[in-house]
Amino acid sequence: MVDAECPRVTVVVLSYNRPRLLEKALRSILAQTIDAMEVIVVDNRSSSSGEIHDLVGTFRNVRLVANPGNLGFTGGMNGGLNEARGEYVYLTEDDVELAADCLVHLVAYLETHGEVALAGPIMWNRNEGTVRCAGGEFDLGAVYRMRIVGAGAAEAPQTTPFQTMYLPGAAIAARTAQLRELGGFRDDFFMYGEDVELCARVLKRGWHLAIVPAAKVFHHEPPPAHADSSVVAYHKFKNLGALYLLHARLTVLPMWVLRYAGMGGIRQVLSDRSALMPWLKAWIWLTMQAPALFAQRGRT
């Protein structure tokens, strides 16, 4: 299955503190029907890193990249991309299992569609059997809008490949050289919104993104939602602002800032005092980084 000299595809699996799910993910990856594959587990350091080290060692032809700390989603995925030797790369996480023919369908589609830079499978909820994500659309208007296609449906929205504006970061196939040319994910995003930002850069270049319905992955549903930690809240606020400074139309920015900085701050004080400090820290960061972000607007 694995050609050590010239792998056709590299699978990058981002891992953080979920060894039991990682084992299931790896078994599904190693069952792929594609030839010449290498598998890289990138582990962001956690209390389970020792267990993850031992687990990866039980699998032949799986390589571990052990980060000394938690580099976030972006740092972890970019680290795996840097290590990839395959012509194609597929990015996934430890809580996602792949159907056995997933990579065959994605690579075959990329081979015959040079205009498509990123291709993704339909992501299904593992237990419920419903669609979790079949791509999506986003709008960087005065109000940020994101629509996930097919979410909660019992059937795929289409059976043939179709274009999309958005792919989730943990379900992306690409030509390795092309994704490196794009620069991968922005490290300063750390987590949240990094996939939208990457998709916006792809679209700016005039390239396309596509969903390949024959390719399927199964996401283990997370525990019931709970309040964001201050770290998560900070990155959500910060990255939304960075996304706008990098990609939104200039005519939209004044109204967006008024809505999210002015009225948004008032709402935070009135409805959730715990989110006030992350919100303030995010806007301090955005104020300091705004000149650099504006300078990068024309770059893709």
Task: Please give the pLDDT value at position 270.
Answer: 67
Q: Is the pLDDT of residue 112 over 70?
A: yes
Task: Please give the pLDDT value at position 1.
Answer: 44
Domain residue extents for the chain:
9-219, 230-295
Task: Please give the pLDDT value at position 279.
Answer: 86
Task: Please give the pLDDT value at position 31.
Answer: 96
In terms of Cβ atoms closer than 10 Å to its own Cβ (0-12, 13-18, 19+), residue 117 is buried
Q: What are 217's strand-pairing partners?
A: 98, 123
Q: What is the mean pLDDT of the chain?
A: 93
Which residues have C-beta within 8 Å of that of residue 85, sequence separation ≥ 6? 6, 7, 10, 38
Average pLDDT value for residue range 130-143: 96
pLDDT tens for each residue of 88-104 = 999 999 999 999 999 99
Q: Is the pLDDT of residue 4 over 60?
A: no
In terms of Cβ atoms closer than 10 Å to its own Cβ (0-12, 13-18, 19+), residue 292 is exposed
- Three-state secondary-structure class, residue 9: strand
DSSP class of residue 222 equals P
Of residues 280 and 1, more confidently modeled: 280
Average pLDDT value for residue range 254-262: 83
Kindly list the distances between the CA atom of residue 177 and the CA atoms of 84, 112, 126, 184, 263, in Å, as whole numbers in the listed order. Answer: 10, 17, 32, 10, 43
Task: Please give the pLDDT value at position 3.
Answer: 44
- Three-state secondary-structure class, residue 257: helix
Task: Please give the pLDDT value at position 297.
Answer: 87
Query: Which of the residue ranges 106-115, 274-283, 285-294 has the most confident prediction, judged by mean pLDDT?
Result: 106-115
Phi, psi of 275 (to 5 degrees): -90, -5
Which residues have C-beta within 8 Å of that of residue 256, sequence separation ≥ 6? 141, 142, 144, 244, 248
Q: Is the pLDDT of residue 259 over 90?
A: no
Of residues 264 and 109, more confidently modeled: 109
pLDDT tens for each residue of 221-241 = 887 766 678 898 899 999 999
pLDDT tens for each residue of 50-85 = 999 999 999 988 999 999 999 999 999 999 999 999
Task: Please give the pLDDT value at position 265.
Answer: 67
b/e code 190-199 from CB counts within 10 Å (16+ = b): bbbbbbbbbb
Q: Please give the Cα distance from 113 to 135 (Å, whole number).
A: 18
CATH code matching the domain that covers 9-219, chosen among 2.40.50.100, 3.90.550.10, 2.60.40.10, 3.20.20.370? 3.90.550.10
pTM: 0.93
Q: What are 290's strand-pairing partners?
A: none
Task: Please give the pLDDT value at position 84.
Answer: 97
- Three-state secondary-structure class, residue 140: strand
Q: How many helices (H) and strands (E) does the chain have?
A: 10, 12
